[in-house]
Chains A and B, each alone.
Chain A
Amino acid sequence: MTRRAVTFATSAVALVAAVVAPSFMSAYALTIATNVLVSAIFAVSLNLVLGYGGLPSLGHAAFFGTGAYVVALLAQRGAGSFALGVTAATVTALLLGLVFGRILLRTHGLYFLMATLAVGEIMRNVAESWRSVTNGGDGLYGIKLPGWLADGRHLYWFLLVALVLVLAAVTVLMRSPFGYSLRAVRDNRNRTSVLGVNPLRVEMTAFVFSAAIAGFAGAMFAYAKAFVSPDVFSLGVSTDGVLMVVLGGPATLLGPVGGALVVQVIRGIGSIYTERWLTILGVLACLVALDPLRHLRRFSQVPKPADTASGAKGVPSAVSVPLSSTAAPNPSPGQIVAMEARGVCKRFGGLQVLSDISLRITAGERRGLIGPNGAGKTTLLNVLSGVIRPDGGRVYLDGRDITTLTPFERARLGVGRTFQIANLFDKNTVRENILFGLLARDGQSLHVARAVRAYDSVQEEASRLLGEWDLRKWEDVSVGILSYGRKRLVEIILAVAQRPKVLLLDEPAAGLSGRETKEIIHTVAALDPRLSLLIVEHDMDLVFSVCDSVTVIADGRVLAEGTGETVRRDRNVTEAYLGMPL
């Protein structure tokens, strides 16, 4: 049996067991089972942010509690219809997610963690202090389930259906281009924005979805308990969620469900036998964090090299396949200006890195950008691609002023770039990297409904690109374990697949062996001649064999500009490099 079949069979058995379970349960066991389901829905929602999105939230109780309070408040006012309560709770949490997401997602890492924690505590304080509405710490009662759910088993089955639906929704989301984007943003935020995807919007979408599901879970919690208190906002609720997700396995579909099962069962059974079940939970959390078995597991999981034999030999010849077979013969360097920098200045603290740099790249031109270390080459590239905003001067693309645009906006207008250090989505396969780039180009990165597998044209194009660049046999290998040279190759494909008008290459040959450099030279030379290139490089073979013209900068100023030959003879240039006139 394949792994897939095993997974499927296990899930089916588990589901059947879950469906028939209530018939064999005591009332107490059923309460625990209901808790498990509510927690599972909550944990799945958190997993969307925490696991798939890599955003460490300690304040997800804010949405859970909001859902619960919406139900309670509606019930207080007699508008207690179940459908209305659940819908209102979900929508309110969603809207709250929209507001909080905007604030919280401006922060990252530790700061995000603490900011989310603060948001949860704010909500708890509001619930506690705003007595006239929330009845403060005493909480709200009088939440009634409709008749058809009043039986505990019916509620259990309803929740089970809801959980399955939520899981199905998450599956669809994670197979869609949006799911790819979310993982891509998690793994390499900067890279996604250079590909033309707004990382903030991706995270925002995940956050809002997650908030809505958490709100639903909170609503169901209120119905199940018939009571809410400010505790639904407490740090404990959020941290329980984190424990469940990490225990079960972040960024897995069923992990959070398993985590919820373990935690709630320990809580339920533990509280019968001992008062110290919190200690047990704490020890469990520590064990999960320490994960004493992980070294063993890693050892048994050492990835098998896909095919070492051909990997060692390398594939220098095939990369010279032209990217676009329909390419017109190299047009004489046209007079249309593709990209232009005018009087760009940039200062870091007291250091003037760029002073008054102007640069003009015509359509189809291949320009080399060289200069001694510290001349400001990479800074200039960052200014052109929008990673850094200049202190003075303007940047134009096709005559349009793009100085104030963000990297992803520029990427959409046709500015592609590669990075000095291979900068890819290391945990994803080669194919997924390229798919992600293609989806980003087509503006489909945020589509949520259709599985990426169903985007036929994109899939075909990815296969074609992989074939042309002779990477077919590596397509299902994680980029992280590729050789450095191949990473550079994937990086260039990723940039070229964007069909940019101008491609900025930051030291494509840095750190490569002599043979790998030759491969890269072939590759770059074989690019579509209509594409304008700006190549920052120290390898002069590469620069002089690929570029039509060369700009030399030193100390943040343009030193010389012209064909390779004129630049080589320029006295200023030799002085800058050798420290003396020749």
Chain B
Amino acid sequence: MLLFFLAAGLTLTLGVMRVVNLTHGSFYLLGAYAALEVIGYGSNFFVAALEAAAAMVALGAVVFYLLRLVGADPLRQTLLTLGLVLIVADLALARWGGSPMSVTKPSFLTGLVEIDGFAYPSYRLFIIALGLLLAMTLGVLQRYTLVGAAVRAVADDVEMAGGVGLHAPAIAMATFLSGAALAGVSGAVGGAMIGAYPGADIQVLLFALIIVIVGGMGSLAGSFVGALVVGIVDTLGRVLVPQIGASLMFLLMLLTLILRPQGLFGRAE
């Protein structure tokens, strides 16, 4: 579910803007650190998550502006986001150091919940609930509202969307910023589970990219199913065949690319 959080944000930017936003993982990492700081000042966990999101929106706006300056060349876009990833990783290392840190969970979510005789950490259940809520909200937004229709129109054909009176750049920006906000929230929420540490940005980015490819670019349903599939494959892989463990999800991605390049839920181009 945490994976879905990440992938949902990335699929929005990929599908709508056709930009490989490598900074997505950095948004996550900074989101986690930001939440850490705010909680350090005695703030509530949920307020911290929101503030992390707000901070990432601000940063996202900068990245978006820079991307606009770069233009349409995918190589340049990649290079720009790559440079930003380097800067963020290096500065984060300077500020917060190299050892893993963990966001403090809210106290009422630290215990275990017993269901059917099995004990589950309540925080994980909280993440699952949050993920489902997000999936439903985004799904409804995208499918049934005018905003969703506008986003889909821009994803389909930017010029035409502009032609029928949509302010395409504004919609693209809003989408991009939503993606950044999602990454920020997942940083705060995920930071309490897997922590924040140098290298988490790349790891998180890779997970999100794989899910988006497996699920299909720009498809929320795809991200949802992709996150489930990748999560299960990765966990089972590490348990059953530890030798190749982590490679398994990459193999999954390659298989997808070979057999169904547009992803499980993507549309053929």
Which of B29-37, B163-171, B188-196, B205-213 binds A?
B205-213
Interface check B133, CB cutoff 8 A: no
Chain B residues closer than 8 Å to A117, beta-carbon distance: 206, 209
Q: Can you list, as one digit per residue, whether each of B57-95 has a CB less than 8 Å from chain A (1) or not (0)? A: 000000000100110001111111011111111110010
Question: Given that A118-B210, A126-B244, A126-B247 are known contacts, is A243 also in contact with B82, CB under 8 Å in the complex?
Answer: yes
Q: Can you list, as one digit per residue, whether each of B232-262 has a CB less than 8 Å from chain A (1) or not (0)? A: 0000000000111111001101100110010
Interface check B143, CB cutoff 8 A: no
Q: A122, A235, A281, A285: which contacts B202 (Cβ < 8 A)?
A: A235
Question: Given that A114-B209, A289-B79 are known contacts, is A119 also in contact with B89, CB under 8 Å in the complex?
Answer: no
A373–B245 Cα distance when bound, in Å, is 56
Nearest CB in chain B: distance from A243 CB, A: 7
Interface check B14, CB cutoff 8 A: yes
A423–B254 Cα distance when bound, in Å, is 32
Asked if residues B244 and A107 are in contact (CB atoms below 8 Å), the reply is no
Asked if residues A114 and B20 are in contact (CB atoms below 8 Å), the reply is yes
Interface check A390, CB cutoff 8 A: no
User: How many of chain B's residues touch chain A, expressed as a range?
Assistant: 35 or more
A278–B258 Cα distance when bound, in Å, is 36
Interface check B217, CB cutoff 8 A: yes
Asked if residues B213 and A125 are in contact (CB atoms below 8 Å), the reply is no
Q: A106, A119, A275, A282: which contacts B84 (Cβ < 8 A)?
A: A282
Q: A50, A106, A285: which contacts B83 (Cβ < 8 A)?
A: A285
Nearest CB in chain B: distance from A387 CB, A: 15
Chain B residues closer than 8 Å to A126, beta-carbon distance: 244, 247
Asked if residues A286 and B80 are in contact (CB atoms below 8 Å), the reply is yes
Nearest CB in chain A: distance from B61 CB, A: 16
A287–B70 Cα distance when bound, in Å, is 10
Nearest CB in chain B: distance from A295 CB, A: 11
Chain A residues closer than 8 Å to B254, beta-carbon distance: 103, 115, 118-119, 122
Chain B residues closer than 8 Å to A242, beta-carbon distance: 75, 78-79, 82
Q: A56, A103, A119: which contacts B258 (Cβ < 8 A)?
A: A103
Nearest CB in chain B: distance from A436 CB, A: 24
Asked if residues B89 and A285 are in contact (CB atoms below 8 Å), the reply is no
For window 202-256 of chain A, which residues contact chain B by CB distance below 8 Å? 235, 239, 242-243, 246, 250
Question: Given that A246-B76, A290-B80 are known contacts, is A110 also in contact with B217, CB under 8 Å in the complex?
Answer: yes
Asked if residues A56 and B82 are in contact (CB atoms below 8 Å), the reply is no
For residue B73, which residue of chain A has the nearest CB? A289
Asked if residues B86 and A285 are in contact (CB atoms below 8 Å), the reply is yes
Q: Can you list, as one digit per residue, whether each of A264-282 has a CB less than 8 Å from chain B (1) or not (0)? A: 0000000000011011011
For residue A277, which residue of chain B has the nearest CB? B90
A276–B89 Cα distance when bound, in Å, is 10
Chain B residues closer than 8 Å to A246, beta-carbon distance: 75-76, 79
Chain B residues closer than 8 Å to A547, beta-carbon distance: none
Asked if residues B80 and A285 are in contact (CB atoms below 8 Å), the reply is yes
A250–B75 Cα distance when bound, in Å, is 10
Chain B residues closer than 8 Å to A119, beta-carbon distance: 250, 254
Chain A residues closer than 8 Å to B75, beta-carbon distance: 50, 56, 242, 246, 250
Asked if residues A282 and B76 are in contact (CB atoms below 8 Å), the reply is no
Asked if residues B253 and A289 are in contact (CB atoms below 8 Å), the reply is no
Chain A residues closer than 8 Å to B246, beta-carbon distance: 125, 128-129
Nearest CB in chain B: distance from A406 CB, A: 18
Asked if residues A121 and B83 are in contact (CB atoms below 8 Å), the reply is no
Interface centre among A130, A235, A290, A291 (most CB of B within 10 A): A290
Nearest CB in chain A: distance from B2 CB, A: 20
Q: B18, B77, B78, B86: which contacts A279 (Cβ < 8 A)?
A: B86
Nearest CB in chain A: distance from B242 CB, A: 7
A113–B250 Cα distance when bound, in Å, is 14
Chain B residues closer than 8 Å to A288, beta-carbon distance: 76, 79, 83
Asked if residues A289 and B77 are in contact (CB atoms below 8 Å), the reply is yes
Nearest CB in chain B: distance from A53 CB, A: 12
A109–B217 Cα distance when bound, in Å, is 13
A289–B74 Cα distance when bound, in Å, is 10
Question: Given that A118-B210, A290-B66 are known contacts, is A129 also in contact with B245, CB under 8 Å in the complex?
Answer: yes
Q: A118, A235, A290: which contacts B69 (Cβ < 8 A)?
A: A290
A239–B79 Cα distance when bound, in Å, is 8
Chain B residues closer than 8 Å to A291, beta-carbon distance: 76
Asked if residues A289 and B83 are in contact (CB atoms below 8 Å), the reply is yes
Asked if residues B18 and A110 are in contact (CB atoms below 8 Å), the reply is yes
Q: Which 7 A-B pairs have the closest CB atoms?
A: A285-B83, A282-B86, A282-B87, A289-B80, A278-B90, A286-B83, A289-B79
Q: List the interface of chain B (C-beta within 8 A of A).
A: 14, 18, 20, 66, 69-70, 74-80, 82-91, 94, 202, 206, 209-210, 213, 217, 242-247, 250-251, 253-254, 257-258, 261
29 pairs, A vs B, C-beta closer than 8 Å: A56-B78, A103-B254, A106-B258, A110-B18, A110-B20, A110-B217, A111-B257, A114-B253, A115-B257, A118-B250, A122-B250, A129-B244, A129-B246, A130-B244, A242-B75, A243-B79, A246-B76, A278-B90, A279-B91, A281-B83, A282-B82, A282-B88, A285-B80, A285-B86, A288-B79, A289-B77, A289-B79, A289-B80, A290-B80
Q: A115-B213, A282-B85 are in contact. List 8 more A-B contacts (CB 8 A).
A: A122-B247, A125-B246, A242-B75, A242-B78, A283-B87, A285-B80, A287-B83, A290-B70
